[in-house]
Structure 1
């Protein structure tokens, strides 16, 4: 069995991905940032992010890992080749504290549902991450 570590970060910006590369010298990783589709304004102090996820694994299994491009900046997924049926590891950071949290939460759930439907016949599926939500 392979060992992968999935984590979320509430403030991972694209420019900060190099930090993950530095601390994972003997590991492989894949990450999504809150600003992957935008350029942040570095003329002001960097605001707190509202998403970003990453998955880290030992370099020895690099050849068994492929990024899956599904999901927005709150979802990171990888294909792990092992045995007859590969694993689809979905790491998610659910929104819980914003003025649009309800809409964002439902949208993120819909993205996860789409991924499960897409990979259910070909992969073992593992969903992990921060599933916090708010009834408020």
Structure 2
């Protein structure tokens, strides 16, 4: 049987409208494109459907236009684009946070959950929101009966920073793998972000996967030839034949730690 390759790309595009040509070029080389910082207003989400004729889409704005007149540029926003010919069906999974979007995608014989995540910046004041987002990610994984999960995004989590350590601790507790760090290595001098203000380099973007997804990964690359944003896309390639076939799991019991439900004292204890 010939290997069938599934290619996923995660990209903080820093404005979908400004980066539309770049995103279109990513669609040419991928089956899934997960976007962060689309900067779209709610009434602009439909524009995602015009990026590439071969791709379906789901998007979420982070802007609440009901509060009145918007001052300054839009902010945040996440989206997922998928190649329609690869997937037999795609359904959107309900997510409470505006920082997370998720889909349940099925091929003829495989089923997978794919998320795009945009986390708050690494600051002690944002730690509670960060852990709440991790908690929702955990809930989405547990509530959807799929062994195959890809969680792509801008986590604002440099490996040796506060959020980076929190993220890796989360992976350990939830039996997830930070695939890019595992494949490329902490000593690889990898980075996905260059600060416009200071020129410093950080490894903020990551791809978390389940054990089943990890076994299928053949390649991970940071696309340093893409210059449309202060972030560089991460590309992951998988042998889709290795992915587990669709199975029904009923009555699964979760005995893992529930993230995002921590009081102030617990957070302070972790930081000591």
TM-score, normalised with respect to structure 2? 0.42
C-alpha distance 48-70 of structure 1, shift in aligned 2 (>3 A): closer
Indicate the SS of the match to 1:31: strand
CA distance in 2, matches of 1:48, 1:97: 20
Match of 2:139 among 96, 101, 114: 114
Root-mean-square deviation (CA, aligned residues, Å) is 2.7
Aligned-partner Cα distance in 1 for 2:132–2:138? 10
Aligned partner of 1:28 in structure 2 is: 56
Contact 1:14 1:33 (C-alpha < 8 Å) held by counterparts? yes
Q: Deviations over 1:98-124 (max 9, x none)?
A: 7842121111011111112222x4341
Q: Distance in 2 between matches of 1:33 and 1:77?
A: 14
Structure index of larger Rg? 2
Match 1:91 to one of 92, 96, 116 = 116
Which residue of structure 1 lines up, in the alignment, with residue 80 of structure 2?
A: 55
Distance 1:12 1:80 in 2: 24
Question: Which residue in 1 is equivalent to 2:149?
Answer: 125
Gaps of at least 5 residues in structure 2 are 7-30, 164-272
Alignment length (residue pairs) = 132
In the superposition, the TM-score normalised over structure 1's length comes to 0.78
- In the TM superposition, residue 61 of structure 1 has moved relative to its aligned partner by 4.4
Q: Residues of 2 paired with 1:122 and 1:10: CA distance?
A: 28
**Corresponding position of 2:40:** 12
Supply the distance in 2 between the matched residues of 1:98 and 1:38 (Cα, whole angstroms). Answer: 26
Greater relative CO (CA pairs within 8 A, separation 6+): 1
Give the match for residue 74 of structure 1.
99
Structure 1: unaligned runs, 5 residues or longer: none
The answer to whether structure 1 residue 39 and structure 2 residue 66 are counterparts is: yes
